[in-house]
Structure 1
Amino acid sequence: MRCGRPPDCGFVLIGMLMLVMLSGLVMAQASMRWHTQVLREREAELIKVGLAYRDAIGRYYNQTPGVVKTFPPTLEALQEDSRFPTARRHLRKPYVDPITQREGWGIVEAPSGGIMGIYSLSDKPPFKTKGYRGELQHLNDKRYYGEWYFVYLPQPLGLNTSGM
């Protein structure tokens, strides 16, 4: 590109510099929004996976043959429960922690033995810290994902939960 006079070249250069700066700011803003969206999606996935493990532990516990109920000895037992003539699957596959993007979970051990829950091994702060209700209200005011526990708590005998 040629300019007519030397002073015009300075204005073109400043205009181009402003255009580059403005596009950089727009790209930075878009990057921040994308990062926020990714965090929200991973957080939602952690809740979905955590509840899947909690429910699978509950099925394992409630389907224990006999009177004395037991928790699964390992997370692998949720995928192939060999306590029956034909193995049962309480969980289709092992899930990766959506926050750390790695296999492996923190384990909440039951007082009587076995696994009664899981939690993320991440020390990152959650994106959403308030506004959870119902079965997720225990996630409110937690400082990091490692405090998000997904635990199956057996209901005491004779407790009618149909009205809740």
Structure 2
Amino acid sequence: MTTHKRSLTQGGFTYLLLLLALTAVALSLLKSQDTIKMRHRQQQEAELLFRGEQIREAMRLYRIDEHGNGCFPTGFEELIRDTRGGKTRYHLRLWFTDPLTGQKEWGKIFDDQHRWIGVYSKGTGKPLRKEGFVKDSEIFKEAKSYREWAFTLEKDPSAPLPNACR
């Protein structure tokens, strides 16, 4: 009978150690989940910077094209397929989705005369990245939300109005 009592008390101790081990594993999994979320957000930010710069550059190329007369584009369709002057040009190879929302819908920035001069993400949240920007580093560094990461061209009051560019 003595052996039977001893095995019962040892079984409880083993069970307690198993519970502690499972708790440690669960806590480490929770910690790794936070790390995975942060890495995913960093990848989204890097993709947002890449895509925003691609769109800005496509807008710049559209604007300086020899057949453009200095016009700003009026939509993504013109960046993807520019048929001005009889020759088709592709300033933007595809219509990028916003990496933070997964939608093709970007926030558009217009100047006072309704010329389309840039884009921003409609994603929510506060940027993690604070340095290492190619352009607009001061603006991006101090941004409180992703909407403040604006990829814009310089305003040009002498540029033709959108109605004159169609």
> Shorter-chain TM-score: what band?
0.7 to 0.9
State which of 40, 58, 61 in structure 1 corresponds to 2:60.
58
Native 8 Å contact 2:140 2:149 kept in 1: yes
2:40 matched to 1:38?
A: yes
Cα offsets for 1:30-61 (capped at 9, x unmatched): 11111111000000000000000000000000
Aligned to 1:17: 19
Tell me the distance in 2 between the aligned counterparts of 1:154 and 1:146. Answer: 19
Q: Give the match's secondary structure for 1:5.
A: helix
Aligned to 1:102: 103
Runs ≥4 residues deviating over 3 A: 110-114
2:130 matched to 1:91?
A: no
Amino acid at match of 2:135: E
Cα offsets for 1:97-116 (capped at 9, x unmatched): 01112220000113444321
Aligned to 1:136: 136
Tell me the distance in 2 between the aligned counterparts of 1:43 and 1:131. Answer: 12
Aligned to 1:123: 124
Identical-residue share of aligned pairs (%): 25
Structure-2 change in CA distance of 1:93 and 1:134 (3 Å): closer
Aligned to 2:163: none
Native 8 Å contact 1:124 1:144 kept in 2: yes
Structure-2 change in CA distance of 1:110 and 1:88 (3 Å): farther
Amino acid at match of 1:131: E
Structure-2 change in CA distance of 1:125 and 1:96 (3 Å): same
**How does the TM-score come out when normalised to structure 1?**
0.84
Structure 2 segments unaligned to the other structure (5+ residues): 157-166
What displacement does 1:134 show? 5.0
What displacement does 1:64 show? 4.5
Structure 1 segments unaligned to the other structure (5+ residues): 156-164
RMSD of Structure 2 on Structure 1 (CA): 2.1
The count of aligned residue pairs is 152
Q: Give the match's secondary structure for 1:117.
A: strand
Tell me the distance in 1 between the aligned counterparts of 2:84 and 2:76. Answer: 15
Tell me the distance in 1 between the aligned counterparts of 2:110 and 2:59. Answer: 12
Structure-2 change in CA distance of 1:121 and 1:38 (3 Å): same
Structure-2 change in CA distance of 1:98 and 1:133 (3 Å): closer
Aligned to 1:147: 148
Structure-2 change in CA distance of 1:40 and 1:133 (3 Å): closer
Aligned to 1:75: 76
